[in-house]
Amino acid sequence: METRLFIAEENKKRLDVFLSEQTEEFTRSRLKKLIGDGNVFINGKQTDKASAEIRVGDCVRVDIPEAAEYTAKAENIPIELVYEDSDFAVVNKPQGMTVHVGNGNESGTLVNALLYALDSLSGIGGVLRPGIVHRIDKDTSGLLVVAKNDKAHVSLAEQIAEKTCHRTYYALLEGNLKKDSGRIVTEIGRHPTDRLKMAVLPEGKGKIAITDFESVLHFGGDYTLCRFVLQTGRTHQIRVHAKHLGHPVVGDPIYGYKKQKWNVNGQLLHAQKLELTHPSSGERMTFTAPLPPVFLEVLQKLSRQYGVDLTEIGDLFG
């Protein structure tokens, strides 16, 4: 067990806020669990209250238990394989599925399903992330590529790093996105006070994030269907950039509006198109996946409400 000690230099600060400022590698939720499990002490006295008040000179001790060992196991979970050969597979991940095993996600992940469905996976990602070259958020649907051997994994990872693997997303945004197209260039990093979030940060405080966007359809002044192309791959990048534009993704539980009109159980964000070069043959390949039913249902309702013709996006319907 690892133990850390911190001395407070400010008065009247919540314990969880104080610790989040001292331990950047831990999310607020992780810290709250440590506190709730009785692993935090103020001046030698155990506390389980995240809201406990810290004063100048207080000594805060955090006992960090050894990390639990997880091993991904094969599970017979239905998944949609868009393409598969001896080098890689392309999967259409459903909304609500976590990509890989981790703390709190020991089963039901895409990796669990892949271990059952495929005859091999690359080992570069280790025992928890076999085959995983890149990720998409749990509540984002759509395409991702999975490597079946290490050579393919290296090639695919290099394509993503060198921006020759193109990833196109569609999102329904709140409000009327007035600019038809553009490029968002910011730095993104962990939110300074809420460790569960990412945020646009001042220059030099985060990692460069570049997203191209284009308005596809407007539904009055209330919603915009928007196409995004990632030039970098930061955590929550499109969701953070959409909020930065002032038009968060509909249904986004972290960056969106607190009151949601639509019962969609997550953000309406879909990885619709994936373009890459085959690791062995060098052939340029393109894969697409139609918008999921919940996304299409919302668009059809908006189409009727606002009199918007959906013909021009017919290819998104499959």
Taking CA 303 as the corner, what is the angle to CA 302 and CA 307, rounded to the nearest 5 degrees?
115
Catalytic-role residue among 16, 58, 87, 137: 137
Catalytic site includes residue 137: yes
* Integer Cα distance of 17 and 193 in angstroms: 7
Catalytic residues, which ones? 137
